[in-house]
Structure formats: structure tokens, C-alpha cells
Structure 1
């Protein structure tokens, strides 16, 4: 992602959205945190947290209490802060931040910068109170804001499968139009059109497999699904791979 002339470069090489589901296995989450900390010595890494187990609890309570949209929005944003704080304890040497001005100094120290996004999500107020706008598309917005060179979503699946093929092979790549036509799969429905409109690509990776994450950072082959704008070159011929 190129920096626009006249605008500050925050110096983010990679923004990864951390799926909250990855905290279900503390040992694997710790291995991921240690991997990211090591990668931060050669890559400037920013982690954007999803809602995690606290968000799941909010959704369960909401089915009973039916929170007003604004309350639900604020609860979920606060859940993301909790995920970020919890992951910071598993990511050696990392530093949490809530204000963008803090990012360059954290990255300059070779540390993973873990965002606590609640303050910015609520304060900027650019996201609709919508069930279709999740932390996937929110992370993409901040990847664009920070000018991240690469963007990945770390989740608990090895990529995107074709609809109705839950046990089949994951796709290596697909266009934003193809992803949008699938509806909600491993990513939310707002993400493909946002990527297309902003000329961005995103790779969905299995965050439980820290070796694959490391390979992706290093530009080596790694299982995952690249979602790229229509007309943008994909790496080789699109194909499926076995999970």
C-alpha cells in the first residue's frame, strides 16, 4: 500500500487482524505471539484484535436483552481492547497503544504494536452499527489508515473454502468480486468491496500454524487465501490446496 503524497507514513510493514478465536488455545496463541515478536525484529508489525470470547458473551446476552445498536457497538469495541490486552501477555516485548501517534516509536523499538481500538472506533465514528461490519472490515480500514504495506487476517481456519464445501480444499486466491459473490464465508461481507474500492489485498491465514504465518511474512509459500482486487495480479494460477 503506497503512502499518499503529503501524508504521514506510520511505518507499518504488516497489519494483522488477530481473530479472537485464536485465544481459545493458549499454547498456540503463545506460539503465535512469540513468532510475531521475533518477526518484529525485521518487520514493523501492528496487531489489530478481534472481539474474542468476550464478544461471544456479548452476542449471547444481546439475544436476550436486545441492546440498542449504539450500546452493542460500544460493548463490542471494548471487547476488542480486552482481546488486545490478553494477547499482549502472550507476545513478548509487545506494547499496546490506543492513539496512532504512539505507533512509530513502538515500531522503532522493534516491538509488536498491539492496538486497543475502542477509543478510535468510538471516537472516529466512521463505522455503521451493522451486523455486517465486523472486525475484519474494521481492521482493513485501519490498515488503510496506517498505510500498511501488507494486510492479513489470522483466524482459526486455513483459508476460504467454496460455499457448501466445508471439508474441501481452501482456495489459494480469489478476486474481491468472487469473494463478494460468496457472501459471508471466513470474512465479513463488507471486506471485499472495501478492498476493491481501495486497491487493497488481504490474505486469510491460519493463526494456529505459526510456521505458516512466519513463511507468509518472509514471502515464502504458505497455506492461505489471498483476496485481491479485480484486475490485480494474483501470485500464480489460482488453485485450491488441501487443508
Structure 2
């Protein structure tokens, strides 16, 4: 686990956490543990961001085969994240899919856990997000900023040491290349957990004050 703390958070009316669950957990038994714990103790507080996983890997495969541009790949990758979101809801039907800020906030007000469906970020023309340097890691950071979240937790299947610098993790491909830029001035806490850190996440969430 590695942690970065940005500037002091602004005052918030509720404590909101964004938990990005990497696509690499989509075939891991620990995915069920993460979702179970978040459903049990994260109602009204947690927004889950799905990774792309092998759904996104298929996009890369098709792009290599057909040579279409990154804009098409970006839009397809958002649908890949949506497939993972649907998988999560299939495993835990109590999760609520939410494609807009308004639906996310309404879901939390109702005491549920939201799973972000990022289809609103589909584009007709390229922008700074429509490239492979910006993946679901950076999108989770973007969402955390938009929602004025208190904390962003990024869950990966690979081991992560407490002293691993974000720059090193980006250079080695653990997080995407743009992630450091997205979080460097964040007003929320950023933590990276490995797949076996469910108990640590539970402890963090249970001991985080609710305002």
C-alpha cells in the first residue's frame, strides 16, 4: 500500500470515497470480498470505479487488428468499463449503476453504493482523455476531483509496497502514465492497495469520520 496526501480537503457535506477496482481483479476470488465489504460498510459513502480488464484488452486487440484511431478505442474502452460495472452488479445486485454526478449523489443519499458507468465521457472528437495514456486509473482521479471526494483508493492485483512512489508505479505500468498528473494537486488522499488489503480498507472506512 502506498499513500499520497495532497492539499487540505475543502469542507464537505458528506464523506465520499472513490474506490477504483482494477480490471485485473475480474478473475480473482478477492473481487467478491472487496464488493461484499464495500456493500456492507460503504453504503452512502462509496463510489466504485470499474477498471477495463480483459474487456479493454479486447479493445487493444481489435485496434491492433483494424488500425482504428484512439478516439474509437477510447469510446470502446468506456464500454469495457461499463461491462465490468455490469459484472459487479451481477455479482452484488444491491450495487447501483450511476452514469452521472446527479445519479451518484442520489444513490449515496439513499444509502447505497454507486458503481460509476462512464458512458458520459464518450466523445465525437478527440480530447485529452481519448488516448491510452489515460485509462480507468486517471478517470477515477478525474471523478474524485469532480465529486470533491475525501479519498481515492486504487486497488490492484499486484503487490504494492508502502514506500512505492507514484512516479515509479506509473513508470512500471502499475498505474497509467497520466495518473500522477491527475492527482499531484489533489485535495483528497490517494492510496494504492493490493488485492489482499480488504481488511485495511475496512479499517480505514470504519474509522473515517462521517460528517
User: Gapped runs of 5+ residues in structure 2?
Assistant: 1-7
Give yes or no for contact 1:16–1:153 (8 Å, CA) kept in 2.
yes
Once residues 96 and 179 of structure 2 are traced to their aligned partners in structure 1, the CA distance between those partners, rounded to angstroms, is: 27
Larger Rg: 1
SS in structure 2 of the partner of residue 24 of structure 1? coil
Match of 1:14 in 2: 17
Cα shift at 1:12: 5.2
CA contact under 8 A between 2:151 and 2:190: conserved in structure 1?
yes
The corresponding residue for 1:147 is: 148
Could you state the TM-score of these two structures normalised by the residue count of structure 1? 0.72
The CA deviation at 1:10 is: 7.9
Name the structure 2 match of 1:84.
Answer: 85
2:34 pairs with 1:32: yes
Q: Secondary structure at the match of 2:58?
A: helix
User: Do the aligned partners of residues 144 and 125 (structure 1) sit closer, same or farther apart at CA in structure 2, a change above 3 Å counting?
Assistant: farther
Q: Quick one: structure 1 residues 127 and 48, their matched pair in 2 at CA, closer, same or farther if it must change by over 3 Å?
A: farther
- 1:237 aligns with none
Q: Indicate whether 1:214 and 2:202 are aligned.
A: yes
Paired residues for 1:102-181 under 5 Å: 102-122=103-123, 127-159=128-160, 170=161, 172-173=162-163, 179=167
The runs of 5 or more residues in structure 1 that have no matched partner are: 160-169, 221-243
**Structure-2 residue corresponding to 1:183:** 171
Preserved CA contact (<8 Å) 2:170 2:180: no
Q: Per the alignment, do residues 181 and 136 of structure 1 end up closer, same or farther by CA in structure 2, a change over 3 Å counting?
A: closer
Count of residues in Structure 1 that have an aligned counterpart in Structure 2: 201
Counterparts of 1:195-206 in structure 2 under 5 Å?
195-206=183-194
> What TM-score does the superposition give when structure 2 sets the normalisation length?
0.82
Cα separation, 2, equivalents of 1:112 and 1:183:
32
Deviation at 1:185, TM superposition (A): 3.6
SS at match of 2:26: helix
| Cα root mean square deviation, aligned | 2.7
Q: Check 1:157–1:219 CA distance in 2 against 1; reply closer, same or farther (3 A cut).
A: farther
Q: Following the alignment from structure 1 to structure 2, what is the Cα–Cα distance between the partners of residues 15 and 122? A: 23
Distance 1:199 1:105, change over 3 A: closer
